[in-house]
């Protein structure tokens, strides 16, 4: 059993709780136990780095400090917004003793920038693809997924240092190992509009429409994401997108943990797939 | 030689290297929202380099930016272009300079942070409520106010709507963090704006 610290973030405890359901079921099957960070707070997301630079360091830093206090050396943040913010604070803190002192005072706990932050894909890699493949009971033979990374899993590369930010391939490797045939397509790392859904919906509809269209044009049978915001925009908003552009996409959007879970024999309900908007 | 940066805050905000930009335009070429920007990212950088900060601060583009970080990832001179956008947004917000047409975006970001300050973690329903109400009081856009009301039962049916939501036990510490970071949450957003 591998034990990893767990930072759910607001989305996974809010309307993207289907992602949390899926991540927990999937990792449990893979022999990873999650220890949730006690009293975690919001990472500040786009709002903090847009309006107050110091908050954008302090809010994630408070969580890193809590992890350090509780002896967690590794922290899984399945939301790429959260993991990017945690990474960025980590790097800034590790590089500057003066900032560490200042932020430690601000967040009322000592921070050192030494916690290892992991996204969901990295935890699967930690288990190992071979180990994962040994547990497959239902290969994903009929799946031709378009793996969609979005922005913050791989960007900014200096901070997150994960995969290749122009041509990532970690999700394809996992899904191919499970028997699926990921398609080659063009919009892997284009933006879906992220958290602009409420403030500027038109941007989200337009960008997400391009992503869905390109996946369909490359004969994908579904889209796979590892981000709650990408899921909201491509799944929940898909009906709005279809109305706005007068098209029919009809593409199921899975979380990566859904497809791994299915291959490992977990049923759709346990994974929360029946709670998506676009269903079979 | 690049020109000196006029506002010293810009340099301290995010290791920005603004002076290194040599105007190749790669940031603007890869920007997913370039088509709806009034001043493109490379031109904003030039304005900052040449000391025309006020003009950059009034740009609608800085609030159109979706923070996808593509510009920062691709800059051949390692200029943190997305960081420049952040720096400009923070200054424009603190000085109340965001253009009225981008009022909703500013309001949303502010409502988000105020929500975290109160609760420690985001309470989505409360965010939607306060944001929509404040936006409506500012621009009277009834259609925008009512727009997602049909979504609520769909979310409820999928167990995705939470009336309480999880809170942290020590909310005082979050409020103190905000105060120490000198978050100027009380600045008024530009008024008499339109929704788009």
Helices (H) and strands (E) in chain B, counts: 12, 0
CATH architecture of B8-94: Orthogonal Bundle (1.10)
Using the beta-carbon criterion (under 8 Å), do B177 and A59 form an inter-chain contact?
Answer: yes
The dihedral through the CA atoms of B44, B110, A18, B166 has a sign that is positive
Chain A residues with CB-CB distance to B184 below 8 A: 52
Q: Does residue A36 sit in helix, strand or coil?
A: strand
| pLDDT at residue B6, rounded to an integer | 47
Chain B residues with CB-CB distance to A11 below 8 A: 122
How far apart CA B62 and CA B41 sit, in angstroms, is: 8
For residues A266 and A205, state if they share a domain: yes
For residues A271 and A167, state if they share a domain: yes
How far apart CA B48 and CA B31 sit, in angstroms, is: 19
> Domain map of chain B by residue range?
8-94, 101-180
pLDDT band at residue B148 under the 50/70/90 scheme: confident
Contact indicator for A170, A98 with CB cutoff of 8 Å:
no
Rounded to two decimals, the pTM is 0.94
Q: How far is B2 from chain A (nearest CA, A)?
A: 24
**What length does chain A have?**
280
For residues A74 and A152, state if they share a domain: no
Chain B residues with CB-CB distance to A154 below 8 A: 73
**Residue ranges of chain A whose pLDDT lies below 50:** none
Contact indicator for A226, A78 with CB cutoff of 8 Å:
yes
For residues A206 and A85, state if they share a domain: no
Residue B108: closest C-alpha in chain A: A199
Q: Which of B64, B90, B124 sits opposite A53 (nearest CB)?
A: B90
**Is residue A156 situated within a structural domain?**
yes
Q: Which of A39, A59, A152 sits opposite B170 (nearest CB)?
A: A39
ipTM of this complex > 0.90?
Answer: yes
Q: Does residue A182 sit in helix, strand or coil?
A: coil
**Containing structural domain, residue A268:** 137-275
pLDDT tens, position by position, A2-58: 999 999 999 999 999 999 999 999 999 999 999 999 999 999 999 999 999 999 999
| Residue A1 sits at the chain B interface (C-beta within 8 Å) | no
For residues A13 and A49, state if they share a domain: yes
How far apart CA A174 and CA A183 sit, in angstroms, is: 13
Chain B residues with CB-CB distance to A105 below 8 A: 180
Which residues have C-beta within 8 Å of that of residue A94, sequence separation ≥ 6? A112, A113, A114
| pLDDT at residue A69, rounded to an integer | 96
Work out how many domains chain A is built from and give that number.
2
């Amino acid at each position: 059993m591998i034990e990893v610290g767990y930072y759910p973030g607001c989305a996974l405890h809010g309307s993207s709780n289907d992602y949390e359901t899926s991540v927990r079921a999937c990792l449990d099957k893979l022999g990873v136990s999650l220890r949730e960070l006690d009293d975690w707070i919001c990472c500040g997301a786009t709002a903090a780095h847009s309006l107050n630079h110091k908050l954008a360091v302090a809010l994630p830093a408070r969580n890193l400090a809590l992890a350090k206090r509780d002896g967690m050396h590794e922290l899984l943040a399945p939301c790429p917004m959260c993991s990017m913010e945690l990474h960025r604070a980590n790097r800034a803190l590790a590089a500057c003793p003066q900032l560490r002192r200042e932020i430690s005072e601000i967040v009322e706990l000592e921070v050192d920038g030494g916690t290892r932050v992991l996204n969901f894909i990295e935890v699967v890699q930690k288990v190992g693809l071979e180990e994962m493949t040994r547990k497959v009971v239902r290969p994903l033979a009929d799946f031709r997924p378009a793996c969609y990374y979005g922005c913050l899993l791989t960007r900014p590369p200096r901070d997150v240092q994960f995969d290749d930010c122009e041509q990532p391939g970690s999700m394809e490797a996992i899904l191919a190992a499970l028997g699926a045939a990921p398609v080659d397509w063009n919009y892997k790392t284009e933006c879906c509009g992220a958290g602009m859904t409420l403030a500027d919906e038109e941007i989200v509809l337009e960008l997400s429409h391009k992503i869905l269209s390109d996946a369909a044009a490359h004969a994908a049978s579904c889209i796979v994401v590892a981000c709650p915001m990408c899921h909201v925009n491509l799944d929940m908003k898909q009906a709005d997108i279809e109305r706005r552009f007068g098209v029919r996409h009809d593409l199921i959007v899975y979380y990566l943990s859904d497809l791994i879970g299915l291959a490992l024999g977990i049923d759709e309900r346990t994974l929360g797939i029946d709670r998506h908007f676009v269903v079979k | 030689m690049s020109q000196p940066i006029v506002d010293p805050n810009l340099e301290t905000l995010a290791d920005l290297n603004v002076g290194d930009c040599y105007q190749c335009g790669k940031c603007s070429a890869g920007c997913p929202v370039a088509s709806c920007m009034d001043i493109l990212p490379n031109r904003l950088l030039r304005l900052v380099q040449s000391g025309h900060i006020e003009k950059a601060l009034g740009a609608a583009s800085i609030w159109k930016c979706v923070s996808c970080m593509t510009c920062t990832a691709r800059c051949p001179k390692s200029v943190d272009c997305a960081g420049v956008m952040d720096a400009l947004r923070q200054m424009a917000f603190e000085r109340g300079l965001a253009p009225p047409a981008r009022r909703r975006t500013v309001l949303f970001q502010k409502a988000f942070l105020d929500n975290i300050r109160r609760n420690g973690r985001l309470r989505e329903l409360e965010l939607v409520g306060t944001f929509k109400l404040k936006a409506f009081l500012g621009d009277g856009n009834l259609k925008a106010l009512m727009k997602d009301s049909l979504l609520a039962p769909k979310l409820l049916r999928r167990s995705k709507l939470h009336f309480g939501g999880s809170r942290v036990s020590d909310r005082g510490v979050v409020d103190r963090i905000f105060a120490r970071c000198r978050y100027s949450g009380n600045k008024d957003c530009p008024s008499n704006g339109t929704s788009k």
